[in-house]
Structure 1
């Protein structure tokens, strides 16, 4: 089912938004300073081409520990990203979502565009995994929080 969804997705704006992510990645590479953001652009661009069956999840939830991208430096990186590229990519996804919402059959694709718009605003500290891995990571993270809360009593 994911294959059919991904094929239709490409026709409903996914192809152009994937190219938009890759174009942002090329600009980031050219600036040299933007190389850390460029890698995120290419990974999320691939996700934007074929999003069904995958999901963006915080690396902190996935690994249950902080890293450079999930802490203060990640916040700073997301602020810089938002100013220079995030807002524009998010607006592209929102415009694509509006186009999809106009057609009744495109509503699920519009929802996916809105998820990508949210990711476009703050991609640092996120990673792309299969839906099954994301579900398992959230479950383990929740269990760890519950265990921690129980020990605190």
Structure 2
């Protein structure tokens, strides 16, 4: 089912959102001061191309024992740069694609996926794209450790 939904996403406009993310990735590579954003761009590019079966999760959720000070402290500054340079227009692209996709009955699941990615597009620094099963296992482990 994931494969069918990913193909549907691609056909119904996912290739356009992915191209937007690829453009942001290339610009972040070209501009020297945005190089730290390149990893986040690439991660969300993968999510935009294949939203079903993958999930964006914060690195602190994946590895709570090794909290990353750079992501925690410097991540906020990077996210502000991100928002000003790329985040707002990528968010609008995903919202627009989601609205267009939700007009047809068959495109509703893909549109909902685009709305989720739109929220991630605003503040992507520190997120990694992993299979859904890995994200669920990390959250379950964190919940178990928190409530022991």
| TM more than 0.5 | yes
Q: Please state whether the residue corresponding to 2:33 is helix, strand or coil.
A: coil
Classify 1:124/1:69 alpha carbon distance in 2 versus 1 (closer, same or farther; 3 Å): farther
Structure 1 residues 93-104: aligned runs within 5 Å = 93-104=94-105
Q: Could you list the runs of 5+ residues in structure 1 that have no partner in the other structure?
A: 148-153
Deviation, structure 1 residue 42: 1.9
Deviation digits for residues 21-77 of structure 1, max 9, x if unmatched? 010111111111111112221221122111111101111111014214541211111
- Look up the match of 2:37: 37
Equivalent residue runs for 1:1-153 within 5 Å: 1-64=1-64, 65-147=66-148
Partners of 1:60 and 1:100 in 2: how far apart? 33
Paired residues in the alignment total: 147
Secondary structure of the residue aligned to 2:32 is: coil
2-side partners of 1:47 and 1:33: how far apart?
24
Asked whether the 8 Å contact 2:14–2:49 carries over to 1, the reply is yes
- CA RMSD in angstroms comes to 1.1
Moved more, 113-122 or 61-70: 61-70
Q: Residue in 2 aligned with 1:150?
A: none
Runs (4 or more) in structure 1 with deviation over 3 Å come to none
Tell me, what secondary structure is at the counterpart of 1:71? helix
Does the CA contact (< 8 Å) of 2:46 and 2:129 recur in 1? no
Ranges in structure 2 where 5+ consecutive residues have no aligned partner? none
Structure ranking higher on relative contact order (CA contacts 8 Å, 6+ apart) = 2
Task: Please tell me whether the aligned partners of residues 69 and 125 of structure 1 are also in contact (alpha carbons under 8 angstroms).
Answer: no
Alignment check: 8 A CA contact 1:69 1:75 kept: no
SS of aligned partner of 1:127: strand
